[in-house]
Amino acid sequence: ADSKETRELFYDTVHCINKKDYQKEQLDVWAKKEADLEKWNQSLLNNHSLVAIDEGKIIGFGDIDNSGYLDRLFVHKDYQRRGIATYLCNQLERYAKGKITVQASITAKPFFEKRGYRVRKAQEVYREGIALTNYVMEKDRRNLG
């Protein structure tokens, strides 16, 4: 039931918050306006997914899979810097059994570094021939919090 709202939040957040670190053409291939909501929903159902709600509105969401890969963590553009990502991340990290990995954007990298994640490698991910820089980061479960 939340797939349309989480998908819109993802799109808006990427295009508003990440625009300081990525060019428009990069944002457009990262978060397209049109999306396969069934595929999006299934990916969230396959993982341990959480949403943050304020007055009936989804203001953040995140998900992690059984291997400890934190796939998504996004907070509505109007609710940034209020502890929502921290709360969601705390809960998602508790679900992990071992090491936690994430592919963090340039924008999200400082957030994860403050949480004890370490960069394993910088990489270029290509979508439709357009390169996006991100960072494979890892955190040992013993350093949660």
* Burial of 33 from C-beta contacts in 10 A (0-12 / 13-18 / 19+): exposed
Instruction: Decide if pLDDT at 94 tops 60.
Output: yes
Strands 100-105, 69-75: pairing is parallel
User: In the prediction, which pLDDT does 141 show?
Assistant: 67
Residue 145 has pLDDT above 60, yes or no: no
pLDDT, tens digit, 9 for 90 and up, residues 113-129: 999 999 999 999 999 99
Question: What pLDDT is stored for residue 13 in this prediction?
Answer: 95
* CA dihedral sign of residues 19, 24, 30, 32: positive
Q: Which residues, in sequence order, are bridge partners of residue 102?
A: 70, 137
| Dist CA 113 CA 118 (whole Å) | 6
Each residue's pLDDT tens digit, 31-78: 998 888 889 899 998 999 999 999 999 999 999 999 999 999 999 999
pLDDT at 142: 60
Instruction: Yes or no: say if 54 and 70 are a contact pair by the CB < 8 Å rule.
Output: no
Please name the residues in contact with 54: beta carbons below 8 A apart, sequence gap of 6 or more. Answer: 79
Cα separation, 141 vs 75, whole angstroms: 23
Stretch 85-101: mean pLDDT, rounded?
Answer: 92
With cut-offs at 50, 70 and 90, classify the pLDDT of residue 1.
confident
